């Protein structure tokens, strides 16, 4: 017999996981009320879905399908790997990630291959958060972080992020962070480059976070998904390479974004072996392993043809700069992304709420974006664009966003 109390608990738990506005889920939204709200006519143009990157405009790393086929032909050995992934492939990518982050990684004990970086985040938080665990979550930051903490029964301790100030003023609020750590926060999860703003935490700030985490013995989970797509004149600091480090640290990366390999669902988490161990135990009951044949595609990671990555970054930088021009010319406040392919322009006050504006953007202007509220619950004045898109279509769509702002602003 179902007790009403537990059913309510489950209802609440899953209400907190509502995914209707999540990137890619827009097809499940109703549009029937929009005709009555819409002002003016539909705007002409080709549809652009800024909710995620367009892997047709920026296709996967060359030969990923050929390497996949080799994995398939390896048969059983590649179909049934250890839950943490095939050792041979862990050996390969551990070396590459070691070079990239300038710190050693033991492939056997300190690394797990996961179903995407989403899978890595799920496992890392599942391994460190239980009922009542206080978790510092940066706002704004990747939309799933907050949901994951709540799902595992933890309490979110929000840490504000400045991203529209000068470089020296930007970054998370270190005083708020230390106060949270003093007040028994046990885990910090954050992304750098930050999703949705493209802010790269400075060397100074990363070192200060590492020292605080070390002093207060806080576990740090850092999502570095976009760290390879670093723009001109920017520098990147890996927290795992800091002189003073957190005692428990997991770094998460994957080839879904810059490398456009999202269709394979591959990621990697590396760091403290005790947490990696727990993550594997959890992976065993979640989906056993990242799809076996797909794991082989990690052989292409950090192993792209010469010049390929440089070119890819350059092409994104061009689009970034054009979109920044368009938004800034329209007097929209927007930070310059230092890495990654997210733009997070702030909108002026509108005569409709943000979710309605986002739905209208899709219906009236054929532009799909993600509302700020996905990244910080109180934030309702910004939209996120993943500008890893066809150059011309992206520029035309950004122009339509500006027109829509003109139509609906107060």
CB closer to a copy of itself, 127 vs 200: 127
> Please, which residue, 188 or 324, has the CB nearer to a copy of itself?
188
Query: Which two three-digit tokens encode residue 130?
Result: 């239980």
Query: What residue has token string 């990363």?
Result: 206
Q: How far is the CB of 408 from a copy of itself (least distance, A)?
A: 28
CB of 6 to a copy of itself, least distance (A): 6
The nearest distance, CB 366 to a copy of itself, in angstroms, is 16
> How are beta strands 48-49 and 187-191 bridged, if at all?
unpaired
User: Would you say how long the chain is, in residues?
Assistant: 410
Q: Which is nearer to a copy of itself, 125 or 326 (CB)?
A: 125
Indicate the residue among 178 and 381 with the shorter CB distance to a copy of itself: 178
Q: CA 110, CA 266: separation in Å to the nearest integer?
A: 17
Smallest gap from residue 350 Cβ to a copy of itself (A): 27
Smallest separation (angstroms) from a copy of itself to the CB of 331 = 33
Judged by beta carbon, residue 119 or residue 140, the one nearer a copy of itself is 119
Beta carbon nearer to a copy of itself, 281 or 346: 281
Residue with tokens 């920026």: 58
Laid out side by side, the sheet with 342-343 consists of 342-343, 383-386, 370-371
Minimum distance from CB of 328 to a copy of itself (Å)?
29
CB atoms within 10 A of CB 393: 16
Q: Please identify, using beta-carbon distances, which residue of 37 and 55 lies nearer to a copy of itself.
A: 55
The CA distance from 394 to 401, in Å, is 10
**Look-up: residue for tokens 């999703």?**
195
* Shortest reach from residue 195's CB to a copy of itself, in Å: 14
Count CB-CB contacts under 10 A for residue 8: 10
Distance CA 337, CA 196 (A): 9
For residue 18, give both structure tokens.
Answer: 């509502």
Q: Are 88 and 109 in contact (CB under 8 A)?
A: no
| 34, two tokens | 């929009």
């Amino acid at each position: 017999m179902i007790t009403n109390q537990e059913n309510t608990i489950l209802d609440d738990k899953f209400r907190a996981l509502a995914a209707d506005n999540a990137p890619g889920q827009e097809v499940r939204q109703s549009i029937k009320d929009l005709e009555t709200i819409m002002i003016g006519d539909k705007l002409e143009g080709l549809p652009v879905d800024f909710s995620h990157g367009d892997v047709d405009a920026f296709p996967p790393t060359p030969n990923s399908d050929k390497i996949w086929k080799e994995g398939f032909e390896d048969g059983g050995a590649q179909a049934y790997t250890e839950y943490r992934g095939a050792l041979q492939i862990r050996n390969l990518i551990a070396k590459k990630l070691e070079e990239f982050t300038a710190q050693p990684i033991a492939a056997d004990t300190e690394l797990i291959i996961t179903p995407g970086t989403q899978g890595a985040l799920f496992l890392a938080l599942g391994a460190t958060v239980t009922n009542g665990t206080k978790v510092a979550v940066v706002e704004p930051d990747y939309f799933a972080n907050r949901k994951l903490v709540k799902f595992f029964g933890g309490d979110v301790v929000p840490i504000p992020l400045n991203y529209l100030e000068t470089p020296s003023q930007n970054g998370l609020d270190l005083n708020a962070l230390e106060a949270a750590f003093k007040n028994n926060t046990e885990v910090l999860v954050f992304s750098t480059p930050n999703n949705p703003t493209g802010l790269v935490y400075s060397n100074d700030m990363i070192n200060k976070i590492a020292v605080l985490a070390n002093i207060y013995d806080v576990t740090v989970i850092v999502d570095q998904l976009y760290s390879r797509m670093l723009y001109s004149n920017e520098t990147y600091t890996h927290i795992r390479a800091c002189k003073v480090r957190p005692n428990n640290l997991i770094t998460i990366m994957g080839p879904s974004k810059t490398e456009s390999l999202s269709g394979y669902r591959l990621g990697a988490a590396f760091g403290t072996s005790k947490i990696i161990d727990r993550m594997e135990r959890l992976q065993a009951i979640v989906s056993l392993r990242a799809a076996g044949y797909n794991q082989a595609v990690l052989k292409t990671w950090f192993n792209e043809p010469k010049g390929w990555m440089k070119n890819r970054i350059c092409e994104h930088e061009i689009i970034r700069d054009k979109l920044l021009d368009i938004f800034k010319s329209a007097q929209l406040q927007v930070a310059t992304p230092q890495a990654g392919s997210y733009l997070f322009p702030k909108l002026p006050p509108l005569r409709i709420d943000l979710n309605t504006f986002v739905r209208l953007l899709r219906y009236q202007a054929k532009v799909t974006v993600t509302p700020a509220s996905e990244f910080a619950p109180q934030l309702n004045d910004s939209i996120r664009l993943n500008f890893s898109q066809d150059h011309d279509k992206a520029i035309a769509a950004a122009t339509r966003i500006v027109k829509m702002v003109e139509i609906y602003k107060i």
